Amino acid sequence: MILERLRSLLPSLAAIVALGSFLSILGPYDSHQFGVPGVWFYWTGLMALGWGSGSFFSWLFDRYLPDWPRPATGLAISVLVSLPVFVGVATIQALIGQPFPISVAPVIFFLVWVISAGVVTISILADRRDRSDGPASDARPARSLTDKLPPRLRRARLLALEAEDHYLRVYTDRGDALILMRLSDAVSAVEALDGARTHRSWWVARDAVQSAERGDGRARLILTETLTAPVSRTYAPKLREAGWY
């Protein structure tokens, strides 16, 4: 499990290092004043802070505001991410003895937001490609979902699928596993089963649903004593028409 998590972080860590290195070479906003390797640590550290903040805020929006339009979500996240990054910039300037006056704080925040907005936009475009509801980007058929599961789960009954970044959590009646696969490809692989998307990050087998409940204006499908699947407003009408709940 730990190794799987670490592998799932590698693309993000590589992106942080690559973007931090690129900005340290460009040296925007007079950041070359930090010298080498100071400028690299400066930008790479800020990218890491922004990535961590972005992951947290993205999780919050996916959990509590899943039906917000992606452009509005991206704009909100870019502003929220700019707050801790701005604090980081201000702290660094103060530590090196060059604090900026309060009067220029709005300008500094705007400059931070410009970079944050660019990074968030790239992340949204990549996420849209990875989680596209349409067919895979190439003509090859999706690899068998079963082949990617550990041997102990290959004959288990499938309950649900949940997208986790670039990975997929597969829930079965014998346990769950994290595999490298896009949700759209996995849905294609199980199209013969009676199931449906309940959320942009979830697919659920119909016979796995024991009951449904409502809370905070949203429905949740109860699959087991410890597993529930969210139902977003996007998919709720079709599920109700089909008699899921």
- Please report, for the domain that includes residue 180, its CATH number: 2.40.50.1020
7 shares a domain with 98: yes
**Long-range contacts (CB closer than 8 Å, 24 or more residues apart) made by 52-55:** 53/80, 53/81, 53/83, 53/84, 53/85, 54/81, 54/119, 54/120, 54/123, 55/12
E strand or H helix at 196, and its extent? strand 195-199
Return the structure tokens found at 202. 């979830």
Predicted pLDDT at 127: 57
Weakest-pLDDT range from 35-49, 55-69, 110-124: 55-69
Same domain, 37 and 126: yes
- Tell me the mean pLDDT in the region 136-160: 69
pLDDT class for 45, splitting at 50, 70, 90? Answer: very high
In a domain, 135, yes or no: no
pTM given for the model: 0.56
Same-domain status, 46 and 111: yes
Measured distance CA(146)–CA(161) in Å, rounded: 13
DSSP structural state of residue 170: E
What pLDDT score was predicted for residue 8?
A: 60
Judge whether residue 51 has pLDDT over 70: yes
Shared domain for 201 and 118, answered yes or no, is no
Mean per-residue pLDDT, 213-229: 84
What is the per-residue pLDDT for 146?
A: 82
Does the residue 120 lie in any domain? yes
Residue 36 lies in a domain: yes
- CB contact at 8 A, 158 and 170: yes
Show Cβ contacts of residue 24 under 8 Å, excluding neighbours closer than 6 positions.
31, 39, 40, 42, 43, 44
Centre a 10 Å sphere on the Cβ of residue 56 and count the other Cβ atoms it contains: 13
Residue 201 resides in a domain = yes
- Residue 143: the pLDDT is 47
Query: What percent of the chain clears pLDDT 90, i.e. is strictly above it?
Result: 25
- SS3 assignment, position 228: strand
Domain boundary among 100, 130, 160: 130
Shared-domain flag, residues 173 and 57: no
pLDDT tens digits along 81-90? 999 999 999 9
Range of the domain at 229: 151-241
Same domain, 115 and 201: no
Answer whether residue 36 shows pLDDT above 60.
Answer: yes
Q: How far is it, in rounded angstroms, from Cα 76 to Cα 57?
A: 9
pLDDT surpasses 70 at 101: yes
Residue 164 pairs in a beta bridge with 167
For the chain, what is the domain count?
2
Q: Which residue has the higher pLDDT, 137 or 93?
A: 93
Q: Is the dihedral of CA 42, 46, 49, 52 positive or negative?
A: negative
Is a pLDDT exceeding 70 seen at residue 3? no
